[in-house]
Amino acid sequence: MFNASYFSFQLADELRCVVASPETTELLYLLSKPHVQFLIPLCFHYPLQALLSVHDMVSQKEFDPRLPPLPPLPDYIEKEEDSIKIVCLVKNQEPLGATIKRDESTGAIVVARVMRGGAADRSGLIHEGDKLKEINGVPMEDKNPEEIIPILAKSEGAVTFKVIPGTKEEPETLDNKIFVRALFDYNPQADPAIPCKDAGLEFWRGDVLQIVSQEDDTWWQARRHSDVDANLRAGLIPSRQLQERRVTLQRPAVLFHPLRESMIFAGLRKSFRLSQKDSKSQHVRQKMGKGNAGIHLPIYQEVLPYKRKPDEPYRLVLLTGPSGVGVTELKRRLLLSDPEHFSVSVPYTTREQKKHEKEGVEYHFVSKHTFEKDILNHKFLEYGEYKGNYYGMSLDSVRRVVAESKVCLLDVKPHTITALYTSELKPYVVFVKPPSIESLRLSRRKAKVLSSQNEQTPTKIFTEEDFQDMITSAQAMENKYGHLFEKVIINDDLAMAFTELRDELTKIETDTHWIPNTWAHV
Ligand SMILES: Nc1ncnc2c1ncn2[C@@H]1O[C@H](COP(=O)(O)OP(=O)(O)OP(=O)(O)O)[C@@H](O)[C@H]1O
């Protein structure tokens, strides 16, 4: 409606003729009396009328974008080109959202891909397989794709394409509901093999991507999950096949982190009271049951949304990090914060029970014979020997805590994670990472660590070498096992790290989040 003032005058006239009631009197008053005395002169006596006439003026204005006039159609059409298409796109600085290539058999320049959600796709007028004859009247046949890409990138406003529609059939309906967690970082700008760098989608390890096209064996199209609602243009990512080939060949190195096998991850955690440095005496069980969620090559992991049901067990929480980073301290604080909710599994040992110790509280005390039998029966996730005694953590202890409807907190070396990566336990893996060496020097000024495993209370302060070891070891762990870490917490300020961890654990207990899709089928 853009004649509101006229209607209001008409209404006022009619109201004056009807029998007065409180409502009509009030409406008449609103239509004619000033409300705000200091409005512009026009509305001094009739502010509502002025408001309505402003409405009328605004509603008659044209706010649609002013499109440039369409260029004239070519006045000649070659006889053999009985099915050419003239497409005029009005383009801003946004890329066209299509890649082109030279067809090796015919030599023609063809549209290789149309990126989902991009300008070309939204127009619905340019399709894969279309032959590109001219852009803005400039013939393309004698040009290379490398020459055409900058022409397209620079063009703004009305861009006219002369194309011969391709014979390619419409792609079959795709299942748009494939979500994957990226297990590596990808930067298209650093990828020499991508057909068009600007069409690439940059992502980081841990990002959830929606795969929107797997038609091409080498380059898939995907959107970052956080962008899906915004319906942003899809980008090219290396297909699983391509990335597998690259990882296997370990090249080019810039696209993924090389493994540093030389780093020492050996040693069970302090919670086992075992030597941190004695790599020979500890063993880790690498295989356990089904459901290892296809994480042998860190590429893409198919995921689906998951929300814990009230009667389901809590996800096992695995805490890992380099020695001395604060895993034990964070675990201790979580236990203290809610002992009814969090719990730890009890390790087994063959050492003698001390007077103050209770069976099943500090340890399960067993004979050497039993322990060795259990090793043979693959009962332990991790076990080791220290000063002639065995220590080990069993899967049964973990299961016992989970069965009590408590959150089981387990600190493990990263190489144990894969053994626990099952649909039964659905481990949530938190990597505790040291801050920079400068922050370590500041925050750990007063911190003490055990100088030997025989000590009951820590007495030694951290040395420069300890800090350096912590940082180097953390880097090596991230390089080798980073794809398994669902959450990385930098332990600089202890209180802040604890709050971040507790909040994160609350979220996975209550909110919908992503888990490997193989975990959905127990
Ligand atoms: N953010 C922090 N600021 C200051 N001190 C810290 C911080 N985090 C941990 N500490 C202290 O550092 C010391 C080592 O921490 P903790 O025992 O938790 O290490 P850890 O990761 O369990 O190592 P290990 O694998 O050797 O058992 C403890 O004295 C702890 O209180």
For the segment 49-78, the average pLDDT, to the nearest whole number, is: 68
**Interaxial angle between packed helices 494-510 and 327-337, expressed in degrees from 0 to 180 and rounded to the nearest 10:** 60
For the segment 102-121, the average pLDDT, to the nearest whole number, is: 84
**Interaxial angle between packed helices 47-60 and 22-32, expressed in degrees from 0 to 180 and rounded to the nearest 10:** 70
Q: Are 163 and 131 in contact (CB under 8 A)?
A: yes
Q: How far apart are CA 125 and CA 162, in angstroms?
A: 11
Q: Is 491 in the pocket of ligand 1 (CB under 6 A)?
A: yes
Q: What is the mean pLDDT of the chain?
A: 81
Ligand 1 geometric centre to CA of 326 (Å): 3
Residue 436 identity:
S
Tell me: pLDDT of 220 over 80: yes
Tell me the sheet residues that pair with 270. Answer: none
Strands 348-349 and 364-365: parallel
Ligand 1 geometric centre to CA of 469 (Å): 14
Model confidence at 94, pLDDT cuts 50, 70, 90, reads: confident
Give the pLDDT of residue 371.
95
Q: Return the structure tokens found at 71.
A: 């260029």
Give the pLDDT of residue 266.
36
Tell me: pLDDT of 340 over 90: yes
Give the pLDDT of residue 166.
78
- Please enumerate in sequence order all residues whose Cβ is within 8 A of that of 71, keeping only pairs 6 or more positions apart, or say none: 88, 158, 160
For the segment 493-498, the average pLDDT, to the nearest whole number, is: 97
Write the residue with the smallest CA distance to atom 24 of ligand 1: 323
Q: Is 326 in the pocket of ligand 1 (CB under 6 A)?
A: yes
Q: How far apart are CA 51 and CA 423, in angstroms?
A: 65
Q: How far apart are CA 148 and CA 490, in angstroms?
A: 47
Ligand 1 geometric centre to CA of 330 (Å): 8
Ligand 1 pocket check: which of 272, 329, 439 to mutate, most ligand atoms within 8 Å of Cβ? 329
Q: Return the structure tokens found at 135.
A: 């852009």
Model confidence at 174, pLDDT cuts 50, 70, 90, reads: very low
Within a 10 A sphere around the Cβ of 56, how many other Cβ atoms? 16
How far CA 223 is from CA of 177, 203, 211, 256, in Å, comes to 11, 10, 7, 20
Ligand 1 geometric centre to CA of 410 (Å): 16
How far CA 93 is from CA of 78, 90, 111, 158, 448, in Å, comes to 33, 10, 20, 12, 58
Which of 41-55, 64-78, 363-377, 467-481 is the least confident region? 64-78
Strands 407-411 and 342-344: parallel
Ligand 1 geometric centre to CA of 447 (Å): 7
Q: Is 266 in the pocket of ligand 1 (CB under 6 A)?
A: no
Q: How far apart are CA 498 and CA 398, in angstroms?
A: 23
Tell me: pLDDT of 276 over 60: no
Q: Is 276 in the pocket of ligand 1 (CB under 6 A)?
A: yes
Q: Are 384 and 392 in contact (CB under 8 A)?
A: yes
For the segment 491-515, the average pLDDT, to the nearest whole number, is: 97
For the segment 498-520, the average pLDDT, to the nearest whole number, is: 95
Comparing 261 with 432, the larger pLDDT belongs to 432
**What digits encode the pLDDT tens for the residues 136-165?**
888 888 888 888 887 777 777 778 888 888
For the segment 394-402, the average pLDDT, to the nearest whole number, is: 94
Ligand 1 geometric centre to CA of 315 (Å): 24
Within a 10 A sphere around the Cβ of 387, how many other Cβ atoms? 11
Model confidence at 422, pLDDT cuts 50, 70, 90, reads: very high
Ligand 1 pocket check: which of 328, 334, 391 to mutate, most ligand atoms within 8 Å of Cβ? 328
For the segment 412-433, the average pLDDT, to the nearest whole number, is: 94
For the segment 220-242, the average pLDDT, to the nearest whole number, is: 82
Q: Is 116 in the pocket of ligand 1 (CB under 6 A)?
A: no
Comparing 209 with 296, the larger pLDDT belongs to 209
Give the pLDDT of residue 2.
53
Ligand 1: nearest atom to the Cα of 270 = 27
- Please enumerate in sequence order all residues whose Cβ is within 8 A of that of 269, keeping only pairs 6 or more positions apart, or say none: 323, 327, 328, 411, 412, 413
Ligand 1 geometric centre to CA of 285 (Å): 26
Give the pLDDT of residue 264.
33
8-state DSSP, 187: -
Q: Return the structure tokens found at 177.
A: 């509901």
How far CA 343 is from CA of 333, 340, 501, 503, in Å, comes to 11, 8, 15, 17
Residue 160 identity:
T
Ligand 1: nearest atom to the Cα of 497 = 1
Residue with tokens 């009197």: 25
Model confidence at 454, pLDDT cuts 50, 70, 90, reads: low
Q: Which helix (H) or strand (E) holds 111?
A: strand 109-114
Give the pLDDT of residue 75.
59
- Our separate counts of H helices and E strands in the chain read 14, 24
Model confidence at 97, pLDDT cuts 50, 70, 90, reads: confident
Ligand 1 geometric centre to CA of 460 (Å): 12
Tell me: pLDDT of 69 over 70: no
Chain Cα centroid distance, residue 157 = 35
Q: Across the chain, which distance is largest between two alpha carbons, in Å?
A: 109
Q: Are 241 and 218 in contact (CB under 8 A)?
A: yes
Burial (CB < 10 A; 0-12, 13-18, 19+), residue 297, is middle
Total count of residues recorded for the chain: 522
Q: Is 3 in the pocket of ligand 1 (CB under 6 A)?
A: no
Q: Is 328 in the pocket of ligand 1 (CB under 6 A)?
A: yes
Q: How far apart are CA 421 and CA 423, in angstroms?
A: 7
Ligand 1 pocket check: which of 444, 470, 489, 492 to mutate, most ligand atoms within 8 Å of Cβ? 444
- How close are the terminal C-alpha atoms of the chain, in Å? 61
Give the pLDDT of residue 401.
95
Ligand 1 geometric centre to CA of 87 (Å): 65
Q: How far apart are CA 512 and CA 264, in angstroms?
A: 36
Give the pLDDT of residue 262.
35
